[in-house]
Structure 1
Amino acid sequence: MKYPGTIVFDLDGTLVDTAPDLTAALNHALGELGRPPVDPQAVRHMVGHGARKLLERGLAASGTASPALVEAGVPAFLDYYWLHIADGSRPFEGVEAAMDRLAAAGCRLAVCTNKPVALAQGLIGALGWTKRFSAVMGFDSVPLPKPDPGHVWATIEAAGGDVADAAYVGDSMTDVAAARAAGVPVVAVSFGFSDRPAAALGADAVIDHYDALDGVLAGFVR
């Protein structure tokens, strides 16, 4: 099968189930701020817009979430998360085999995430994935992160690809909006961190397992 030349992936909730470690870091920071922990299942729907937004949502779950309080919690969150970045985080089922098949077919693989790039690279390294990706672009790699299309375009360019021959795989409305604005076909995974059903995100296709990714991507090639 022929696939788009560059496949861009979101990271959290798309390639990796990072909820266990993000939950632990969030609840550590909330504890430092004197707040109660958030239920792990609730955290899965708070992820996707960076540490500050996650802290804001975690704080809002138990009271007020002022900008000053959010900023006060960021160091505790980031320090804890860096030390425990892959304690419980695991690749989603079938994702490594899917990436192997795409790489073998000559595709460039890249990551476009709203994580800070250092944390993204740290997680990717901890999983032994460093050599899998032609580019990793975090929210601080560009002037404006997702859903701004420039984040997607910059990732494709950094990977050595062409926007006209690329596809995007993500799990949230932010991912779909970014890919749509960038003019890139987008696949949504149904097992990620979205706060709404994947079918409601407006992606070109939805997959329930990475075994289905190949066929969907092949369908994007005209």
Structure 2
Amino acid sequence: MAHLPFDVVAFDLDGTLADTAPDLAASLNHALAALGRPTVPPESVRYLVGHGARALLRRGLAVSGEAPEDLVDAGMPIFLDFYGEHICDGTRPYPGVEAALDAIETAGARPALCTNKPEALTRKLLDALGWQRRFASIVGGDTLAVRKPDPAPLLEAIARAGGGGAAAFVGDSITDADTAKAAGLPFVAVSFGFRDRPVEELGADAVIDRFDDLMHALQSLAAKEERA
């Protein structure tokens, strides 16, 4: 059995564990159309995600003009209602995710989830994916009064998972990278997620191209910290 010297391995959700872009894009374009704005190319949503639903809607509006807060306020219920009804129409886990989560638990660590997606929608998506019992803790974007890149949600997810020792964070964006840095934790970036810049510019401690490589990356990080 592989040894993993982390008590908790925390994960981002959108763009890290699952490709949620198809359903986020459909929901964003539904809201934009309802607000009388042009829709955006679905693929472009991969570069707009990262700071939660409100920021996604604001960025979608900004593509075609101004994005005043009253218009964002009006669009949020439209976006969230549609997304809640279509939360897993096109969403799919990335290859190897479930095997990686199994390997982490087998090695004695606990997976935790820290996302900027609202907690209720996060749990609904986990239910749809059959992941209700996959995580020792779940912290969403509205679980606390602050969200990533503030380190508090990540530290809370680790604490709720029973973490009292070493932990690591796995994500895909600059938001996740900044969160890990603020929390003082090693950060593993996936090369296939949602981001607005090349993965090489995230300042990650390790980068993986597939989840089959995650355990090796985590073990290498732990060994590097021990040498330091």
TM-score, normalised to structure 1, is 0.97
Q: Is the 8 A contact 2:7 2:110 kept in 1?
A: yes
Q: Is the 8 A contact 2:205 2:221 kept in 1?
A: no
TM-score, normalised to structure 2, is 0.95
Deviation of 1:143 after TM superposition, in Å, equals 2.0
Deviation of 1:186 after TM superposition, in Å, equals 0.5
| Paired residues, number | 221
Q: Which amino acid in 2 is paired with 1:67?
A: E
* Structure 1 residue aligned with 2:198: 197
Matches within 5 A, 1:16-165: 16-162=18-164, 164-165=165-166
Cα distance in 1 for partners of 2:206, 2:169 equals 11
Cα distance in 2 for partners of 1:107, 1:130 equals 18
* Structure 2 residue aligned with 1:2: 3
* Structure 1 residue aligned with 2:221: 220
Cα distance in 2 for partners of 1:95, 1:146 equals 22
Cα distance in 1 for partners of 2:11, 2:94 equals 13
Cα distance in 2 for partners of 1:113, 1:130 equals 15
Structure 2, unpaired ranges of 5+ = none
Matches within 5 A, 1:164-179: 164-179=165-180
Secondary structure at the residue paired with 1:130? coil
- Superposed CA offset, 1:28-82 (max 9, x none): 0001101111101111110111111001110011111111111100000000000
Percent identical pairs in the alignment equals: 57
Cα distance in 2 for partners of 1:52, 1:181 equals 23
Deviation of 1:152 after TM superposition, in Å, equals 1.0
Q: Is the 8 A contact 2:111 2:135 kept in 1?
A: yes
Shift >3 Å, 4+ stretches: none
RMSD of aligned residue pairs (Cα, Å) = 0.8
